Amino acid sequence: MDSKYAKLAEKKQWKKLTKIAEGKNIDDIIQVAAACGLGRDEEPYNILVDLTSHKEQAVQLAAINGLGECRHSIDSQITRLMWLSERNSGNTEITGAISRAVAKLRAAKR
């Protein structure tokens, strides 16, 4: 990923990314979620967790994918994702994304 958001993530500009994530442009928010997936710190993890509650499903999916990539606290991420899975049990697109993210995290933990 070579976006301006990825560059902000590389520079650990989490406050700027948080501000963009709180904005109204869905495409920008999705790109922020992808950029946060590159993170290994608590801040990008927190941004992703917040985005899992976004009203737009595309943002939720991007946040779930980001959580599958982020390596801040794998056990915590798996727990969070399993909780989300229970809350979204009727939504196969969300639960499928969660299953893939959990599989990535478990593989990374080995």
pTM as predicted: 0.92
Digits of tens for pLDDT over the chain (110 positions)?
Answer: 568 999 999 999 999 999 999 999 999 999 999 999 988 899 999 999 999 999 999 999 999 999 999 888 899 899 999 999 999 989 999 999 999 999 999 999 88
Centroid of chain to Cα 9: 13
Q: What pLDDT is recorded for position 2? A: 65
Cβ atoms of 20 and 28 within 8 Å: the answer is: yes
**How long, in residues, is the chain?**
110
Q: What pLDDT is recorded for position 109? A: 83
**Cα 88–107–82 angle (5° rounding)?**
20
